[in-house]
């Protein structure tokens, strides 16, 4: 007797049942797969939740950047930043003394004064401009007084034998003692290489005393 | 609401009513990803899937493939469309996953043409030894399973699917074969199986 399709079908179902009952580990296997599958589902759900959050945040950010709020915020930020920078500068100027000194330090000074004044102050390293000004003024006043007191007389050196013999415009002879010549020489008040026949200028003070003798390249006009 | 929209809703409602429980559960899971729907689908189909895979391989491989199949269902739930047959979709995934595994591990089952050349006497002999092994292990005697496992891979695959309740068109779709080819495989499988069962 041949087996019909219906009998095959029944045998198949019976075999499935046997499989379910027979294999003691079947339930365990089933439970294990079920637990793993559901755990995977949960993990995927969490992942999807994160993705949804990112998408949501992303859409908010896109909307924000597309809106005019961003432009207003940018302008406000720029203003605040500028005010901040300005206030920092003000604060530094007011409250940081070192910076204040640095700001007023002058590297190069073009100083105008009398000839030789720079030599006068060569040894002074200080930047005390008040002292410089006082020294300048004093020098000026002294030189002005000298200019008023001293009178120049042209003369010609006639003889140099011991004492000097000078002849002025009025044909008067002026003798200068050896000691005075030495004293003037020591004080640097005889200028130039003066020899017999040289034209000189006699600087006399208010009392008519010789202050200095200067060589004159050209004959002075009497 | 317009008349067109009302009619559309009506047809949609009808179509949803025509869907099976599994399909509705799967659509619900696909939309919401809720665990309850997935658990219900698992309870409804896992035994059948496991048995199908068990016939085509062994317990260890079947367990592994079963789990991987369900994970693929979770990952590709968005691909399931309304109108699809859930069980056919599930078995297609399971079958492809198993074939990939068999190819990867270079097992003989899938491409073993030598098996097809065995005579019915030899097949019966193999089935007999399988039954004896099961009995020795203290398991209940399952003649049918022992016999169907001796069939060539493609024949037992097609026959298992038919006995599971799939139509020829569905089996052809699941196996990726022509309908006539499937028909032939099933006929050969049935003949061999009947012969073996009658002899035992």
- Please indicate whether, in this complex, the C-beta atoms of A8 and B140 are within 8 angstroms of each other: no
Name the CATH topology of B113-199.
Answer: Arc Repressor Mutant, subunit A (1.10.10)
pLDDT > 50? residue A103? no
Closest residue to B51, CB basis, from A5, A19, A34: A19
pLDDT over 90 percentage in chain A: 8
Name the residue among A151, A156, A142 with its Cα closest to residue A203. Answer: A151
Which residues in chain A have their CB less than 8 angstroms from residue B74's CB?
37, 40-41, 44
* CA distance linking residue A185 with residue A176, whole number of Å: 12
3-state SS of chain B?
CCHHHHHHHHHHHHHHHHCCHHHHHHHHHHHHCCHHHHHHHHHHHHHHHHHHHHHHCCHHHHHHHHHHHHHHHHHCHHHCCCCCCHHHHHHHHHHHHHHHHHHHCCCCCCCCHHHHCCCHHHHHHHHHHHHHHHHHCCCCCCHHHHHHCCCCHHHHHHHHHHHHCCCHHHHHHHHCCCHHHHHHHHHHHHHHHHHHHHHC
* CA distance linking residue A55 with residue B87, whole number of Å: 34
Which residues in chain A have their CB less than 8 angstroms from residue B75's CB?
44
Q: For chain B, where do the domains classified as CATH 1.10.1740.10 start and end? A: 3-104
* CA distance linking residue B122 with residue B133, whole number of Å: 17
Single pTM value for the model: 0.54
Residue A16 Cα, gap to closest chain B Cα (Å): 7
Query: What does the pLDDT look like over B114-157, one tens digit per residue?
Result: 445 566 666 666 666 776 676 666 666 678 888 888 888 899 99
Interface test with A, best of B45, B63, B148 (most A CBs within 10 A): B63
Q: What angle do CA B138, B139, B145 make, to 5 degrees?
A: 150
Q: Classify domain B3-104 at the CATH class level.
A: mainly alpha
- The answer to whether the beta carbons of residues B127 and B196 sit under 8 Å apart is yes
- Please indicate whether, in this complex, the C-beta atoms of A37 and B145 are within 8 angstroms of each other: no
- In the structure encoding, which two tokens stand for residue B195, read together? 């012969």
With tokens 């920092």, the residue in question is A88
Q: How confident is the model at residue B83 (pLDDT cuts 50, 70, 90)?
A: confident
Residue B35 Cα, gap to closest chain A Cα (Å): 7
Q: Which residue of B has its CA nearest to A46?
A: B33
- Please indicate whether, in this complex, the C-beta atoms of A8 and B67 are within 8 angstroms of each other: no
CATH number of this structure's domain A150-215: 2.40.50.140
Most confident of A102-116, B2-16, B115-129, B186-200: B186-200
pLDDT > 70? residue B112? no
Interface predicted TM-score (ipTM): 0.73
Domains of chain A, by residue range, sit at 5-57, 108-149, 150-215
Residue B58 Cα, gap to closest chain A Cα (Å): 13
């Amino acid at each position: 007797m041949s087996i019909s399709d219906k009998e095959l079908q029944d045998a198949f179902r019976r075999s499935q049942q046997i499989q379910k009952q027979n294999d003691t580990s079947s339930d365990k296997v089933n439970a294990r797969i079920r637990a793993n599958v559901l755990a995977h589902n949960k993990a995927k759900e969490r992942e999807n939740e994160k993705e949804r959050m990112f998408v949501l945040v992303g859409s908010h950010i896109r909307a924000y950047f597309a809106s005019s709020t961003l432009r207003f915020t940018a302008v406000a930020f720029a203003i605040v930043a500028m005010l901040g920078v300005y206030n920092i500068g003000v604060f530094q100027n007011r409250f940081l003394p070192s910076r204040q000194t640095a700001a007023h330090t002058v590297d190069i000074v073009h100083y105008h004064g009398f000839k030789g004044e720079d030599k006068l102050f060569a040894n002074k390293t200080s930047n005390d401009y008040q002292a410089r000004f006082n020294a300048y003024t004093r020098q000026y006043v002294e030189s002005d007084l000298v200019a008023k007191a001293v009178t120049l007389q042209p003369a010609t050196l006639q003889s140099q034998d011991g004492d000097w013999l000078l002849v002025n415009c009025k044909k008067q002879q002026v003798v200068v003692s050896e000691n005075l010549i030495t004293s003037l020489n020591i004080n640097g008040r005889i200028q130039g290489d003066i020899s017999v026949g040289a034209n000189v200028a006699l600087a006399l003070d208010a009392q008519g005393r010789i202050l200095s003798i200067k060589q004159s390249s050209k004959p002075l006009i009497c | 609401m317009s008349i067109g929209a009302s009619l559309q809703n009506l047809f949609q409602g009808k179509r949803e009513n025509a869907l099976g429980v599994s399909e509705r559960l799967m659509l619900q899971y696909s939309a919401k990803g809720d665990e309850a729907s997935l658990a219900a689908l698992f309870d409804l189909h896992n035994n059948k899937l496991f048995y199908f895979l068990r016939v085509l391989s062994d317990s260890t491989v079947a367990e592994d493939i079963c789990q991987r199949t369900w994970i693929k269902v979770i990952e590709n739930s968005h691909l399931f469309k309304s109108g699809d047959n859930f069980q056919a979709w599930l078995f297609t995934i399971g079958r492809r996953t198993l074939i990939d595994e068999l190819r990867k591990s270079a097992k003989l089952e899938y491409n073993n043409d030598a098996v097809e050349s065995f005579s019915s006497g030899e097949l019966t002999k193999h089935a007999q030894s399988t039954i004896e092994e099961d009995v020795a292990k203290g398991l209940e005697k399952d003649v049918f399973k022992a016999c169907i496992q001796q069939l060539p891979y493609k024949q037992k695959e097609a026959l298992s699917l038919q006995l599971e309740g799939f139509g020829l068109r569905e089996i052809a779709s699941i196996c990726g074969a022509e309908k006539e080819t499937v028909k032939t495989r099933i006929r050969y499988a049935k003949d061999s199986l009947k012969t073996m069962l009658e002899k035992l």
